Homo-oligomer: A and B are copies of this chain.
Amino acid sequence: MQELKHNLKIRKMAWIGTGIMGGPMCGHLMDAGCEAVVFTRSKAKAEPLLQRGASWARTPAEAAGAAQVTFTMVGFPQDVRDVYFGENCVLAGAKPGGIVVDMTTTEPSLAVEIYKAAAEKGIRAIDAPVSGGDVGARNASLSIMVGGEGEAVETVLPLFEKMGNNIVHQGPAGAGQHTKMCNQIVIAGTMIGVTESLVYGYKAGLDLPTVLQSISGGAAACWSLDNYVPRMLRRDFSPGFIVEHYIKDLRIALEESRRMNLQLPGLELAERLYTKLQRLGHGRSGTHALLLALEEMSGLEIIQ
């Protein structure tokens, strides 16, 4: 799908949730010539977009009512639920024939629920969670995992292409969210492996940067090793991707896996370890702070 380059047919879009991810993503669409109507809980967060010519809506319904396509990029599943089903919600405002696109990482079952409720009103719904973090949002280099019907996805594709460089249609409604869960489950494993390896190497008396020289190019190679270990060794646990949001994702994946009668002990372990990390006061730290939970369990602190 990346090869296809469409002309932008959508000129008017709404954007709900203009935080650290949504802000720059909406900005890319404005750069591409879209007229934007924005709504976000704290208006201050929308100011940069308003100064660049976006117009302000007082409610999600008002925003959706003014646009052909409405994007949502909020925080937790309950926020998504409020925006789509609460008072003055997107589905109350959006016009028949319109498209709504939830880019929040949320429950696959909620994506299906939105899809069905939208369909009853003649509105097409797409789930399109992303990976790539705030850097990917700023650089328009996100991976966008898309669930929904082909025609609606094709219509929105030119807009996705302004925000990401790896856009893949994964299947029907919910498939984008399920794919994001696959992504988060792999990361659960890599984060545990990397942090336990560091704890072991430290306690064994090794020089950790020297260990990396031996192991980072072979079968142990992973993004987490390359990107997080340098920060861990500097004891820099600022996000990146915050622990609270990752716990949300892990719990969604766990709940879905239980619904599907799957036993995923690594995922369960990750949820326990990250919950422990949150209890240690690191809910707003980056996910690589997992090292601190492992250190705490073994009563040590790695000092470079």
The interface residues of chain B lying within 8 Å CB-to-CB of A166 are 213-214, 217-218
When all copies of this chain in the complex are counted, the total is 2
Q: Kindly specify which of A22-30, A63-71, A197-205 makes contact with the partner chain.
A: A197-205
- Give the bracket for the number of chain A residues in contact with chain B: 35 or more
Say whether A211 contacts B266, CB under 8 Å. Answer: no
Q: Is the CB of B218 within 8 A of A221?
A: no
Interface status of A196 (Cβ within 8 A of chain B): yes
Question: Which residues from chain B contact A4 at a C-beta distance below 8 Å?
Answer: none
CA distance A191 to B188 in the complex (A): 11
Partner of A264, one of B185, B196, B204: B196
CB–CB B179/A185 < 8 A = no
* Bound-complex Cα distance A234 to B214 (A): 31
Is there a chain B Cβ closer than 8 Å to A187's Cβ? yes
Cβ of B217 and Cβ of A201 under 8 Å apart? no
Chain B residues with Cβ under 8 A from A196's Cβ?
185, 188-189, 264-267
A214 in complex: contacting residue of B170, B187, B199, B267, CB < 8 Å: B170
* Given A183-B215, A215-B186; A299-B261 close (CB under 8 Å): yes
Q: Is A7 an interface residue (CB 8 A)?
A: no
Cα-based distance from A192 to B194 in the complex (angstroms): 13
Q: Are B193 and A211 in contact (CB under 8 A)?
A: no
Q: Are A200 and B269 in contact (CB under 8 A)?
A: no
Cα distance A130–B220 in the bound complex, in angstroms = 13
Q: Are the CB atoms of A224 and B219 closer together than 8 Å?
A: yes
Contact B194–A186 (Cβ < 8 Å): yes
A136 neighbours in B (Cβ, 8 Å): 218
Q: Does A297 contact B (CB under 8 A)?
A: yes
**Chain B nearest Cβ from A259, distance in angstroms:** 10
13 extra interface residue pairs, beta carbon distance < 8 Å, beyond A171-B210, A179-B206: A132-B218, A133-B219, A143-B215, A170-B207, A175-B204, A182-B200, A183-B219, A189-B190, A189-B191, A189-B266, A219-B223, A222-B223, A264-B294
Can you list 17 A-B contacts (CB < 8 A)? Answer: A166-B214, A171-B210, A179-B211, A179-B214, A182-B206, A183-B197, A183-B218, A183-B219, A186-B193, A189-B197, A192-B193, A196-B267, A199-B262, A204-B260, A262-B298, A265-B269, A266-B266
By Cβ-Cβ distance, the 4 closest A-B pairs, closest first, are: A189-B193, A222-B222, A192-B266, A186-B220
